[in-house]
């Protein structure tokens, strides 16, 4: 536990003593904020239009659901921004240790690989949590104007967090493969994008294949969360995805040791 904490703390400090944390958090919030504004103002206009039509036809105005019409697209947008930014958060975790030679210190200290991997993974997860907490402020803003339901919002955020952890676990894995941070980031990005894209193509192939594809798609599993539906099926999917990334990181580090990389 002490080793885990030491590594976790060092990574956190390292994030915040370089520009990376500030840049990533700042850009993520700026982009999310911009899209939040666009989506919400669009939603408000739509509400007004419906109100006017209702008055014109002398009917009761329809009830529009904030959760479905505003929060769900916002969450989907953020899941995309996370795809752009999280590889930048994870790219240095192992690559930098390999490049600078500090991996020799880490791997000759009485620290197990599991402790090191989890320390690094959790540090990136904590940074992601900070990013999400920032966007939560936008959501609070909605409560001044409408009556969104709290439960579905929290479910949506849980889904977003799990999705981010999936990116991060494979980010750690790709960073164990190379001492080049750019390569680590790009391969993480492409890999995750692939697991998004198999969801898109599922509509173009035969039905059974399409079902298989969408079963593996990272984003298909997210939509229920974004709608506010909590389903253990999706929970298990994300947890296994995360486990897989961490497990592969472990295997990669051990095998690199044998090969002498």
Partner 1 sequence: MIDVQQVSRYFGDVIAVRDVSFHVEKGEIVGFLGPNAAGKTTTMRILTTYLPATSGTAKVAGFDVHENSMQVRRRIGYLPENPPLYQEMRVRDYLDFVAKIKGVAPVDRKKAIVDVMGKTAIDKVENRVIKTLSKGFKQRVGIAQALVHNPDVLILDEPTVGLDPNQIIEVRELIKSLAGNHTIILSTHILPEVSMTCQRVVIINKGSIVAQDSTDSLTKKHAGGRRFTVCTDAPFEAVREKLTAIPAVDRVEINREGHEYTTLVVESKDHDVRPEIARTIIENHWPLYEIKSEGVSLEDVFLDLTTSEEGAAS
Burial bucket for residue 232 (CB in 10 Å: 0-12, 13-18, 19+): exposed
For position 165 contacting partner 1 by CB under 8 A, the verdict is no
Specify burial of residue 162 (Cβ count, 10 A radius: 0-12, 13-18, 19+): buried
Q: Which is nearer to partner 1, 105 or 190 (CB)?
A: 105
The reply on whether position 235 binds partner 1 by CB under 8 A is no
Q: Does 104 bind partner 1 (CB under 8 A)?
A: yes
Which residue, among 118, 90, 116, 89, has the nearest Cα to 105 in the 3D structure?
A: 116
Helix (H) or strand (E) holding 53: helix 19-56
Nearer to partner 1, 74 or 127 (CB): 127
How many chain residues are in contact with partner 1, going by CB under 8 A?
Answer: 26
| Interacting residue with partner 1 among 105, 133, 140, 154 (CB under 8 A) | 105
The helix/strand/coil state of 30 is: helix
Instruction: State the minimum distance, in angstroms, from the CB of residue 232 to partner 1.
Output: 38
Nearest to 172 by CA among 94, 257, 104: 94
Q: 11-40: which residues touch partner 1 (CB under 8 A)?
A: 13-14, 17-18
User: Are 200 and 167 in contact, with CB atoms under 8 Å apart?
Assistant: no
Between 82 and 253, name the residue whose CB sits nearer to partner 1: 253
Where does this chain bind partner 1 (CB under 8 A)? 2-3, 6-7, 10, 13-14, 17-18, 100-112, 257-260
């Amino acid at each position: 536990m002490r080793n885990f904490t030491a590594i976790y703390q060092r990574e956190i400090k390292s994030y915040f003593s370089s520009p990376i944390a500030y840049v990533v958090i700042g850009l993520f919030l700026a982009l999310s904020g911009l899209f939040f504004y666009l989506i919400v103002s669009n939603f408000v206009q739509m509400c007004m239009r419906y109100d006017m039509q209702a008055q014109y036809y002398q009917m009761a105005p329809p009830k529009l659901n904030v959760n479905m019409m505003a929060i769900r697209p916002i969450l989907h947008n953020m899941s995309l921004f996370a795809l752009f930014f999280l590889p930048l958060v994870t790219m240095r975790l192992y690559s930098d240790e390999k490049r600078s030679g500090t991996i020799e210190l880490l791997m000759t200290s009485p620290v197990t690989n599991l402790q090191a991997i989890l320390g690094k993974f959790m540090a990136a997860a904590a940074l992601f949590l900070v990013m999400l907490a920032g966007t939560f402020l936008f959501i609070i803003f909605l409560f001044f104007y409408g009556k969104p339901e709290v439960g579905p919002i929290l479910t949506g955020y849980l889904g977003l967090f799990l999705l981010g952890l999936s990116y991060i676990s494979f980010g750690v894995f790709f960073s164990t493969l190379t001492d080049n941070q750019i390569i680590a980031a790009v391969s993480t990005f492409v890999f995750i994008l692939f697991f998004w894209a198999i969801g898109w193509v599922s509509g173009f192939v035969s039905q059974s294949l399409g079902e298989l594809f969408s079963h593996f798609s990272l984003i298909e599993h997210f939509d229920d969360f974004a709608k506010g539906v909590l389903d253990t099926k999706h929970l298990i999917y994300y947890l296994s995805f995360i486990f897989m990334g961490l497990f592969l990181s472990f295997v990669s580090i051990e095998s690199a040791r044998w090969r002498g990389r």
